[in-house]
Structures are given as C-alpha cells and as structure tokens.
C-alpha cells in the first residue's frame, strides 16, 4: 500500500500532521487515570462549541459513523413507533433498515436526489400520517452532494412535537450547525469527514427532549454498546462504559481545535464554489440541480467511462484518490471531497489537471 496518496475523497480525507502527532502517544490508562476524564470533557466542550450546543449532552462512540446512526435508532425507537424517514439520497433511504431493525414503522418520504428537501412535502406527509413520533433526515447527502436545510426542517418538526434524528456526518465542521437554536434532538457526526481525523469515532449529541424520551420508554433499550443512556453520569462517576480509545480521542480533540481556529463554514463555502466553478466552466455537468453541498461535489461521468477505470488512472498515474457513485449513482458520477484538510488550492488544481489528463486517456 502506497502511503502517500493525495486523498480527495469525501471522507476519509487528508489528515493534518498535528492530528497525527497528537495520536502518536503512549498516553495513559484511560480507565484508571482521572486526568483522562478532563481531556474527554474538554473535547466535549470544544465539540459543543462547534455545533452551538449549550444545553446538550455529547459523547464520542468508538466506531465509524454508521454506529451513531444505529445507536440513535436503537435508543430512541420502540416497537411500533411511527418514524418519518425524510429521504433524498442513499443515506436518507438507508435509515429505513435501522428503523425497522429496532421495531419502528418506517414511513418513507421519498424525494428527488438532485435537489434539497422541500418542507411542504413534509407538511403534506404529516397531514396524511398521524401519530409520528420521530423523524430521520440527512444534513449533507454525501453520495449526491446535496445539502438539506436542517435548521428549517428541525424547527418545523419540533413545532409538531416530533423528535429529529439528524445525520450530519459529512457536514459537521464544514457547515454551520446550531444545535440548540435549530431544535435538533439527536445529531450524528463522524471523525473522518470535515473534521479530518482518521475513521473510527462517531459523535452523538442529545437534546434534553431526547434524553427524556429515552427515560420515558416503556421497554428497555436493546443492546449495550448501542444504548446511549449508559453514558449518563460518566463524568460525575468517573466511569466509562468501556475502555476509551485514547489516541483516537486525542486526534479528534486536535482536529476539533484545528477546525475552531478557522471560519470553517466560510472556508468550505469558498472551496465548494471553487470546485463547482471549475467543473462548470470546463464542460462538466454537476449531478445536483440546486442546494449544492459545500463539502462534496458529484460530477456526472461522461457516457462510456467506467468509474473504476478513472479511479485506477487517477490512483496509479497521478497518486490521487477520488470518490465514485453509490447505489443508483454507480458509474453515473465521480466525487471530490472539499472537506477539512483537503481544502488547499494546490490540492484541487493538481486534481483538476490529473482529471483532465485521465479523461483524455479514457476518451480517445
Ligand atoms: C460517511 C457517512 C456516513 C458514515 O458511513 P460510511 O459510508 O460507512 O463512511 C453516514 N452518513 C453520511 C451522510 C456519510 O457521509
């Protein structure tokens, strides 16, 4: 395995040397050393600042982003609960599986993949379906490179007494999130997207409303690792449910601090526009029609070009990794992540030049 690729995929991303340095430590025993609880608490404080959460409880679970999605469903859903799955892409549709796995009745609100969610569709769905307790939605649909207006949607859901579970795995640290003001109930993040840490951690934030919801369940939460209530009082009791991955927490802490040092939302917007502008002015077509993501761009593949062939040339001849299409977008698009550490002018210019050469080679 070559260790020196330029990683321009929409997660995992490039990693800053300061994060690698923070992780390269023997450290301590995180179960026994009370100092580690302070490090963890400081990390939570910085993270809450990043998502404008003052009244919320955040925790970091050892596992990839998907663990957070599953843990939220396992902890909040009970047998027979009606859950509105607001979906305009791969991840939005994918929530159905988790909802049903934990006994929920998934009501699918399916929308076009190339535009953001229109709130009037949610209003219509709620008129038809009564008794909905929870809703799942995606902040940035990474495979189709669309951003949904979670502020508008979550405030609306809250006004209807519905708890929101938001997958912001590919937006946290790239788009502004206002957890308290937007009345989000469960917010899910991942370490390997805009925060540019290695994969392996998922961040979960709970509103007081969602904590009360879990406390008032009539049946116990199934699972231990997936039970978000086991994190209650970890700091007061100086106790973690399992041994914490010290190096990953230190890396995450450093990457959150790096993100807080910059005006991260404007930076991502700037690079998002730079990337879209490049493709549009060079004859490419974007997959999205509006509501473009500022953290990832999906570009239509020319007919007759297979993604695997493009990927191989980019990797072998140019040392650059790019993303492809998932689900119905397989061989339809390729994707560039403009997330966190990927965001350097020279990285994009190198990628654009390599893409242009690769396409010339593929379409002759
Ligand atoms: C990356 C990502 C996840 C985590 O899933 P993986 O594909 O396993 O990395 C979850 N939701 C969204 C929107 C993501 O972009």
The per-residue b/e assignment along 118-133, b for 16 or more CB within 10 angstroms, e otherwise, is bbeebeebbeeeeebb
Ligand 1 centre from 169 Cα, in Å? 6
128-140 pLDDT, tens per residue?
Answer: 999 999 999 999 9
The phi-psi region of residue 294 (left if phi > 0; otherwise alpha if psi is between -120 and 50; otherwise beta) is alpha
**Ligand 1 binding pocket mutation candidate from 138, 167, 172 (most atoms within 8 A of CB):** 167
Residues contacting ligand 1 via CB (< 6 Å): 11, 64-66, 91, 138, 142, 167, 169-170, 190, 193
What one-character DSSP code corresponds to residue 79?
T
Ligand 1 centre from 65 Cα, in Å? 6
176-229 pLDDT, tens per residue?
Answer: 999 999 999 999 999 999 999 999 999 999 999 999 999 999 999 999 999 999
| Burial class for 142, CB neighbours closer than 10 Å (0-12, 13-18, 19+) | buried
67-118 pLDDT, tens per residue?
Answer: 999 999 999 999 999 999 999 999 999 999 999 999 999 999 999 999 999 9
Q: Residue 2 pLDDT more than 90?
A: no
Instruction: Report the mean per-residue pLDDT for the chain.
Output: 97
Minimum CA distance residue for ligand 1 atom 9:
65
Quote the tokens at residue 74: 């396992």
Ligand 1 centre from 145 Cα, in Å? 12
Distances (CA, A) of 121 to 87, 112, 126, 149, 332: 11, 11, 9, 13, 27
Quote the tokens at residue 56: 């919320």
**Ligand 1 binding pocket mutation candidate from 12, 86, 91 (most atoms within 8 A of CB):** 91
Q: According to the model, what pLDDT value does residue 104 have? A: 98
Q: According to the model, what pLDDT value does residue 3 have? A: 82
- The candidate with the shortest Cα–Cα distance to 139, out of 256, 264, 330, 296, is 296
> Given the CA of residue 143, which atom of ligand 1 is nearest to it?
15
Q: According to the model, what pLDDT value does residue 6 have? A: 98
The dihedral sign for the CA sequence 67, 71, 77, 79: positive
Q: Residue 239 pLDDT more than 80?
A: yes
- CA 200, CA 67: separation in Å to the nearest integer? 10
Q: According to the model, what pLDDT value does residue 171 have? A: 98
Give the number of other CB atoms < 10 A from CB of residue 358: 23
**Ligand 1 binding pocket mutation candidate from 170, 173, 194, 196 (most atoms within 8 A of CB):** 170
**Contact in structure between 332 and 287 (CB atoms under 8 Å):** yes
- Average pLDDT estimate for 151-178: 98
- Average pLDDT estimate for 52-65: 96
Q: Residue 240 pLDDT more than 90?
A: yes
Q: According to the model, what pLDDT value does residue 364 have? A: 77
Ligand 1 centre from 364 Cα, in Å? 35
Minimum CA distance residue for ligand 1 atom 11:
169
> Given the CA of residue 141, which atom of ligand 1 is nearest to it?
13
| Burial class for 5, CB neighbours closer than 10 Å (0-12, 13-18, 19+) | middle
């Amino acid at each position: 395995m070559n260790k020196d690729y330029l990683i321009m995929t929409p997660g995992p991303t490039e990693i800053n040397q300061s994060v690698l340095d923070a992780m390269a430590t023997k450290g301590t025993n995180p179960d026994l050393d009370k100092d580690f609880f302070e490090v963890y608490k400081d990390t939570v404080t910085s993270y809450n600042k990043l998502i404008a959460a003052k009244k919320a409880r955040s925790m970091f679970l050892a596992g990839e982003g998907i663990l957070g999605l599953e843990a939220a469903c396992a902890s909040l859903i009970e047998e027979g609960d009606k859950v509105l799955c607001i979906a305009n892409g791969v991840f939005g549709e994918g929530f159905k599986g988790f909802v049903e796995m934990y006994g929920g009745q998934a009501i699918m609100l399916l929308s076009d993949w190339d535009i953001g969610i229109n709130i009037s569709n949610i209003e219509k769905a709620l008129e038809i379906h009564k008794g909905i307790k929870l809703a799942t939605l995606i902040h940035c649909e990474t495979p189709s490179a669309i951003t949904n207006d979670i502020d508008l949607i979550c405030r609306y859901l809250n006004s209807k007494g519905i708890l929101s579970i938001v997958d912001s795995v590919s937006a946290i640290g790239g788009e502004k999130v206002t957890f308290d003001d937007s009345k989000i109930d469960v917010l899910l993040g991942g370490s390997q997207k805009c925060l540019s840490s290695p994969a392996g951690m998922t961040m979960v934030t709970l509103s007081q409303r969602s904590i009360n919801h879990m406390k008032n369940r009539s049946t116990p939460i199934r699972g231990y690792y997936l039970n978000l209530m086991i994190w209650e009082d970890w700091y007061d009791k100086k106790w973690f449910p399992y041994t914490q991955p010290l190096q990953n927490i230190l890396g995450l802490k450093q990457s959150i601090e790096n993100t807080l040092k910059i005006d991260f939302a404007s930076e991502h917007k700037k690079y998002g526009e730079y990337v879209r502008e490049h493709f549009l002015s060079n004859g490419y077509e974007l997959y999205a029609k509006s509501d473009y993501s500022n953290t990832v761009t999906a570009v239509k593949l020319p007919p007759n070009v297979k993604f695997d062939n493009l990927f191989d040339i980019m990797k072998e001849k140019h040392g650059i990794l790019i993303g492809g299409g998932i689900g119905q977008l397989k061989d339809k698009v390729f994707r560039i992540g403009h997330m966190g550490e990927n965001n350097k002018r020279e990285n994009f210019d190198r990628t654009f030049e390599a893409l242009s050469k690769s396409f010339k080679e593929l379409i002759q």
